[in-house]
Amino acid sequence: MVTVPALEAVDLYRFFHVGDSETRALRGVSLRIDAGEIVALVGPSGSGKSTLLNCLAGLDEPDGGYVMLQGERLTRRPEAERARRRAADIGILLQAGNLLETLSVTDNILLQMGLAHKHDPERLQRLLESVGLTERRHARPGQLSGGELARAGLAVALAAAPAVLLADEPTGEVDAATEAKLLDLFDEQRQTGMAALIATHSPALAAWANRVISIDDGRISDG
């Protein structure tokens, strides 16, 4: 029996142009992540981690290659279709811009649940407790610290119980104790079958993941 991967990228290329200069951000990237598997993505700044996550999420279109989400093509589909698939099946945590500034932490989470038609008050409470923001649930983004913003963004990314999580440095601004709690949260989601690709500089997170992929100069290899 052939298992369909939760997320698959096939030969992705992405180029950026500024004047006559060309940056080759992705150079033939292929990967597969199965349900219940958490993969750490490591590499130096500028290696292509964020570009890869954006292409996998359908936020950016690759110049070559394609992305499959649960066996269905995500690349080169209408934006409305990609947005629908993201809302239903992909949790996204970027380095910034994860929350609407006019909404509280709670309302940001509820909005994501609403977009996916998965309203779940019990899950809302569990997420707030897991990321340590129960006491800050009514705060707006401008009232949160950098670490709190990252944790609130993670709660939003996990709000609709996504099949796939794509996270960019989710533990980058937290202390070791908080990072341990977030790893417990990731493990809880992994047990439900969620797949994840997590870009990180954290040795603890990389050591904890099922496997590690290294990216450098737009090319990847298994670590």
Mean pLDDT, range 66-79, rounded to an integer: 94
| Lowest mean pLDDT, pick from 51-65, 174-188, 207-221 | 174-188
pLDDT value at position 1?
A: 60
Average pLDDT in the chain: 92
Q: Does position 181 have pLDDT exceeding 90, yes or no?
A: no
What percent of the chain is modeled with pLDDT above 70? 98
SS3 string, the chain, reads CCCCCCEEEEEEEEEEEECCEEEEEEEEEEEEECCCCEEEEECCCCCCHHHHHHHHCCCCCCCEEEEEECCEECCCCCHHHHHHHHHHHEEEECCCCCCCCCCCHHHHHHHHHHHCCCCCHHHHHHHHHHCCCHHHCCCCHHHCCHHHHHHHHHHHHCCCCCCEEEEECCCCCCCHHHHHHHHHHHHHHHHCCCEEEEECCCHHHHHHCCEEEEEECCEEEEC
- Whether the pLDDT of residue 222 is over 80: the answer is no
CATH architecture type of domain 7-222 = 3-Layer(aba) Sandwich (3.40)
Average pLDDT for 79-93:
92
Q: pLDDT, tens digit, for every residue of 25-65?
A: 999 999 999 999 999 999 998 899 999 999 999 999 999 99
Q: For the chain, first and last CA: distance in Å?
A: 28
User: So where are the chain's domains?
Assistant: 7-222
For residue 179, what are the CA distances in angstroms to 77, 110, 151, 183?
36, 24, 10, 6
